[in-house]
Amino acid sequence: MQKLRNIAIIAHVDHGKTTLVDKILHSCSIFRDNEQTGDLILDNNDLERERGITIVSKNVSVQYKDVKINIIDTPGHADFGGEVERVLKMADGVLLLCDAFEGAMPQTRFVTQKALALGLKPIVVVNKVDKENCRPEEVYEQIFELFFNLEATEDQLDFPVIYGSSKQGWMSTDWKVPTTDIFALLDAVVANIPAAPTNDGTLQMQITSLDYSSFVGRIAIGRVHRGSIKENQPVTLIKRDGKIVKSRVKELYTFEGLGKIRTQEVKSGDICAVVGIDGFEIGDTIADFEAPEQLPVIKIDEPTMNMLFTINNSPFFGKEGKFVTSQRIRERLYKEMEKNLALKVVETESPDSYLVYGRGILHLSVLIETMRREGYEIQVGQPQVIVKEIDGKKCEPIETLIVDVPGEVAGKVIELVTQRKGELLIMEPKGDLQHLEFEIPSRGIIGLRNNVLTATAGEAIMAHRFKAYEPWKGNIPGRLNGVLVSMDKGNTTAYSIDKLQDRGRFFVDPGVDIYEGQILGEHIRDNDLVINIVKGKALTNMRASGTDDNTRIAPAIKFSLEEAMEYIQADEYIEITPASMRLRKIYLTENERKINAKKFQ
């Protein structure tokens, strides 16, 4: 038996996965005593730290007693399900992390289903038992029921449970008896997760993720399924479509702590990084040079949403970004497809535009935000759900939506969701909150979060996951209000904004450069209004005491990228540059908009 365990940590977003990995790393003395590490060690890119979520799965390993434990930290958000599905192939067991108050959330169900289907052994960790009004016993019952509904085997249903608080750094088999360390969890991993199997025979290794180094290029990461892999060994790369390419391993690394160490040979069961193989993609198999055998190709759920990406053709193009041509945007999108399996890029009739397919608003917004930080200027259109024809019927993606809200505002939430063709399935108390479950078309979720948070004064907790394709539910009303559109270019003035405040709420501050056709605010009525806010006050040589009004301007509304994506309509674009984000009409002049109005009806 190998002294090696491979585990993936799965959980709903914000249930404490990355914090738990921090504590495991500290407990196993990965760092020197005087080393400054900070929190959320694995969320190492800026976007992950700012948003407080994991976007890309990471590999680390720790040595506990005499066992090496490979840990894979996975994203918790439904939009990054493609990332989770492929890395589960590297594990023999999973740590299912659950909040002691919230219990099993929709995303927990999604990844648990994938893990159980692969036959992985689960350990359930009920986290955050130090929270007020936590309910660990109820959560345990809920998880057992979830496993049963997902058709877990007898062995999987007989799962060990560990209680604790990863923030406070303790784990125990009894939540009423706190300890001072997390060794109870590591002991459970060593005792219950099966050791990585040793399969003798010719080499087989599937590439399940990739890394990049500016010195050696792309690095293939995966688990050796059978046999062993050595440095300088000639190998065969079998592509997803069965095509065979001969290659050679230049360097070989295994994971040690947070880094990698070079090694001569990696035996079956261990996770390693291979340098020197060219032209590989995720899902390819590295096999024996003489008698290559392919492993089953990774299947990833299909995208449910698409967006139009196009070059920036506004009057301000090229002022702030480095990469503005369609060729550069095309190269960047195709490069992203290599490592982002749930993403698909389709060329359109126009050479300047591409349709990008993804798992949801967050999935696409992370790509846009990353490109923006790299210096790209792009424009994106309204997100559209992907409609399919199944058995001659028009079908659309339907999602399960879960909302936890204070009881007194539950009625408002139900009203908002049912307006968007949502159907209430379950309504029950959960602690001091009301727990609501709906089935709703994916179209209905776009733009819903803002409305729900406004109606509940920010107290709603929302989560959703893709369920299935079902028959089209009919028309869903879009945005209720029109927008205020600029008729002129120039610098905005406080005087003009002040005079037009009764017409709506503004998205721009005084003293900002704007152009004709830019969206400046939200109109109070349902039609669009063309306005001029670059006009200054007419000056005279007379001074009149008391007649000059002081301008009192309400603060401008500032959208996040996701909010802007949910806000725009079919005849609008978001212009995104490294320094700014503007909303605009596709056709900038009022005359063009009137001529092309029928296109968007």
Q: What total number of domains does the chain contain?
A: 5
Regarding whether 561 and 464 lie in a shared domain, the answer is: no
Regarding whether 355 and 270 lie in a shared domain, the answer is: no
**Domain-embedded: residue 298:** no
Given a cut of 90, is residue 423 above it in pLDDT? yes
Look up residue 107 and give its two tokens: 């995303």
Domain coverage including residue 532: 483-542+549-600
Query: Among 361, 418, 395, which residue's Cα sits nearest to residue 562?
Result: 361
21 known member of a binding site: no
130 known member of a binding site: yes
* Local confidence band at 542 (pLDDT 50, 70, 90 cut-offs): low
**CA–CA distance, 531 with 453 (Å, rounded to integer):** 30
52 known member of a binding site: no
85-112: per-residue pLDDT in tens? 778 888 889 888 888 888 777 667 777 8
DSSP codes, 36-58: ---S-TT--SHHHHHHTS--S-E
**Domain-embedded: residue 57:** yes
400 known member of a binding site: no
Regarding whether 184 and 41 lie in a shared domain, the answer is: yes
**CA–CA distance, 444 with 397 (Å, rounded to integer):** 10
Query: Among 415, 379, 552, 564, which residue's Cα sits nearest to residue 483?
Result: 564
Regarding whether 186 and 68 lie in a shared domain, the answer is: yes
Mean pLDDT over 379-384 rounds to 93
What's the whole-model pTM score? Answer: 0.79
* Local structure of residue 314 (DSSP, 8 states): S
Across the chain, what does the average pLDDT equal?
84
pLDDT score recorded for residue 30: 54
**Domain-embedded: residue 272:** yes
Query: Is the alpha carbon torsion for 69, 73, 78, 82 positive or negative?
Result: negative
pLDDT score recorded for residue 37: 47
For Cα atoms 18, 19, 20, give the angle at the middle one, nearest 5 degrees.
90
Regarding whether 164 and 73 lie in a shared domain, the answer is: yes
177 known member of a binding site: no
| CATH number (domain holding residue 62) | 3.40.50.300
* Local confidence band at 52 (pLDDT 50, 70, 90 cut-offs): low
**Domain-embedded: residue 513:** yes
254 known member of a binding site: no
Domain end point (choices 425, 441, 471) = 471
Regarding whether 259 and 236 lie in a shared domain, the answer is: yes
| CATH number (domain holding residue 364) | 3.30.70.870
**CA–CA distance, 372 with 354 (Å, rounded to integer):** 17
Regarding whether 209 and 126 lie in a shared domain, the answer is: no
Regarding whether 326 and 363 lie in a shared domain, the answer is: yes
Look up residue 120 and give its two tokens: 């992985």
Q: Where are the beta strands (DSSP E) in 114-203?
A: 121-127, 161-165, 170-172
**Domain-embedded: residue 405:** yes
pLDDT score recorded for residue 106: 66
pLDDT score recorded for residue 49: 53
Query: Among 231, 174, 228, which residue's Cα sits nearest to residue 205?
Result: 228
Give, in order, the Cα–Cα distances in Å from 26 to each of 19, 60, 170, 336.
11, 12, 12, 33
Residue 458 burial by CB count (10 A; 0-12/13-18/19+): exposed, middle or buried?
Answer: exposed
Query: Among 490, 491, 385, which residue's Cα sits nearest to residue 443?
Result: 385
* Local confidence band at 78 (pLDDT 50, 70, 90 cut-offs): low
58 known member of a binding site: no
Regarding whether 182 and 102 lie in a shared domain, the answer is: yes
**Domain-embedded: residue 397:** yes
Domain end point (choices 441, 471, 501) = 471
Q: Do 23 and 166 form a contact (C-beta atoms < 8 A)?
A: yes
**CA–CA distance, 201 with 34 (Å, rounded to integer):** 46
Regarding whether 215 and 259 lie in a shared domain, the answer is: yes
**Domain-embedded: residue 478:** no
**Domain-embedded: residue 151:** yes
Regarding whether 126 and 52 lie in a shared domain, the answer is: yes
Domain end point (choices 170, 192, 214) = 192
Mean pLDDT over 183-193 rounds to 88
Given a cut of 60, is residue 40 above it in pLDDT? no
129 known member of a binding site: yes
Regarding whether 461 and 512 lie in a shared domain, the answer is: no
210-267: per-residue pLDDT in tens? 777 778 878 888 889 888 888 889 999 998 888 898 989 998 988 887 778 888 988 8
Q: Of 70-79, 388-397, 451-460, which has the strongest mean pLDDT?
A: 388-397
